[in-house]
Homo-oligomer: A and B are copies of this chain.
Amino acid sequence: MPRTILPNSRVSPRFSGICTFCRYPRLEDVSSENRPVDWAIYGVPFDSGVTYRPGARFAPRAIRDASQYVKAYHLAHGVNVCETLSLADAGDAPVKPYHLEENLKVVAQWATDLADPFTRLFAVGGDHTIAYANILAARNRLRATGVKQDKGVALIHFDAHLDTVDEVWGEKWGHASPFRRAIEDGIVDPNAMLSIGLRGPLNREDDLEFARAEGVTIVTADDCDGPEPNAASRAIDPFLDSLGTRPVYVTFDIDCIDPAFAPGTGTPCPGGLTTRDAFSLLRRLRGINLIGADVVEVLPERDPAGVTSFLAAHILFEIIALDAAARAAR
């Protein structure tokens, strides 16, 4: 008996029905034997933190739609995600579109209280500010289950940008700043933070300074060039080794991927990862103690063929499959 009950596709084809993430049941519809769910996936339709093109508020809707085509069996890991995990769509978090900081509080509080504390949270943005809220909630929930969190969580961060700018237009809570705030507030441990996908051009050379000074491990898009072992694998492998079993959060900004594969994003950057690069890097994370994740910065209005939302839905699947593979291996 599967842990996640999907619609009967003999009756309700993938182009049919009210759209939930990957056709997983709504949280309130999960049967008692499948509770508490292993993962609650929720949207955060919020984009007031952007510095260029807005519109990521429509991404949860677009990704729910695109995810109807996500299937259950992960070929590379050899695991059926829906047989292994109980998964649910928790709807969208409440948002405060006119107020950045207040929004983060509202989202974090709602997420902290969501379902059972042992349920992991996957947030679908929205702009990258919302990662702060979901990491904070994940940390709060770890504590609620008795896990100590003195140093902040470990963070694996896919992104074309570091998102550690201090402030923009007089504002500390925009989408260029979430990890600056998370490090300052002690909810992310910079020595256990790996950032993959950075590339130029940058506004200024000193945009890198904070992260470097704090000890963040940075793997640029260029580092991923060429067959392994390359600069990327030489940095990532020891980083992963060092993590051991400590709780890890994965945040995935879709702009780490090249605009050819993911045009629908607000601050694109040419020269990014391919989809296969990204899948390969994600699969390499197998074995981490994953305690929360997000995918952010999808901009449906710049996605005329729908490939970006479609890809984001599969990134979600790849990340959750890490947990399924880990549990199946036990």
Measured CB to CB, the residues of A under 8 A from B are 9-20, 26, 43, 45, 47-48, 51-55, 57-58, 60-61, 64-65, 69-76, 78, 80-81, 89, 91-92, 94-100, 169-171, 174, 198-205, 207, 220-222, 225-228, 258-261, 263-264, 267-268, 270-272, 274-276, 279-280, 301-307, 310-311, 314, 317
Q: Are A171 and B306 in contact (CB under 8 A)?
A: no
Q: A101 to nearest B CB, angstroms?
A: 10
Q: A132 to nearest B CB, angstroms?
A: 15
A318 to B21, CA, bound (A): 31
A277 to B166, CA, bound (A): 33
Q: A65 to nearest B CB, angstroms?
A: 6
Q: Are A73 and B200 in contact (CB under 8 A)?
A: yes
Nearest 9 CB-CB pairings of A with B: A75-B200, A263-B305, A54-B54, A71-B201, A301-B301, A98-B171, A11-B94, A304-B304, A260-B261
A-B contact pairs, 25 of them (CB 8 A): A9-B203, A13-B57, A15-B52, A16-B45, A47-B54, A48-B48, A51-B97, A54-B55, A55-B55, A71-B202, A71-B203, A73-B203, A73-B207, A75-B200, A225-B280, A259-B307, A259-B311, A263-B307, A268-B310, A270-B314, A271-B275, A271-B276, A271-B279, A271-B314, A301-B302
Closest to A110 in B: B11
Q: A115 to nearest B CB, angstroms?
A: 16
Cβ contacts under 8 Å, A268 to chain B: 307, 310
User: A14 touches which one: B52, B98, B263 (CB < 8 A)?
Assistant: B52
A131 to B47, CA, bound (A): 23
Closest to A261 in B: B260
Cβ contacts under 8 Å, A55 to chain B: 53-55, 301
Closest to A100 in B: B98
Q: A44 to nearest B CB, angstroms?
A: 9
Closest to A56 in B: B54
Q: Are A305 and B264 in contact (CB under 8 A)?
A: yes
Q: Are A96 and B302 in contact (CB under 8 A)?
A: no
Cβ contacts under 8 Å, A314 to chain B: 201, 270-271
User: A201 touches which one: B17, B75, B263 (CB < 8 A)?
Assistant: B75
